[in-house]
A = this chain, B = another copy of it.
């Protein structure tokens, strides 16, 4: 998101046939709530079309990448890594330190340019990921949804500023309504 360090979301453990919709939800949530890109395993590439179609229609910038080797992708990442897991430390205790690690805490506008990787898993996540992560973070220590965890994480990371972000090259713009639907085409 403009004015903040780059945030990429890596979707791990996608199971073809079973995880298409949740992987698509992960990608669309990443886009809507301020991340700059989502990285899918090759097997999850069928979600790519949906996410790119939404970006074409409702604006960007937002990119979808794929990787043949998600574990190597994690090992090769240079910046700080957050892994969202119900076994981790509470988000409410970790969020300030994470902003600090990417240079956001003192200056929401700028940041020092450290890129953040946020990992969300489907089911079992290899132990290596817990080790590679700088922050294993829990949005409650309850089992629920990686989509919900990602949403709360991003809203807290950006402290709500993502809700006011602007979109470029949107064909469709939704105009907020008390009741009903209004979409303007540009």
Residues of A within 8 A of B (CB): 18, 21-22, 25, 28-29, 31-33, 54, 58, 86-92, 127, 130-131, 133, 136, 138-145, 147-152, 155-156, 160, 162-164, 167, 173-183
Contacts and interface: CB of A to CB of B under 8 A. Distances in A.
A175 B88 CA distance: 8
A163 B33 CA distance: 20
B180 A130 contact: yes
B141 A174 contact: yes
Contact of A163 (B92, B145, B178, B179): B92
A145 B147 contact: yes
* Nearest 4 A/B pairs, CB to CB: A148-B151, A141-B174, A25-B145, A32-B144
Nearest to A175: B141
A88 B147 contact: no
Assembly stoichiometry (copies): 2
A86 B28 CA distance: 13
A160 B92 contact: yes
A92 B180 CA distance: 19
15 contacts: A25-B144, A28-B148, A29-B147, A31-B144, A33-B144, A87-B181, A89-B176, A89-B177, A92-B160, A127-B180, A136-B177, A140-B163, A142-B174, A145-B151, A147-B147
Contacts of A179: 130-131, 133, 136
Contacts of A33: 140, 144, 148, 152
| Best-surrounded residue of A54, A58, A145 (most CB of chain B within 10 A) | A145
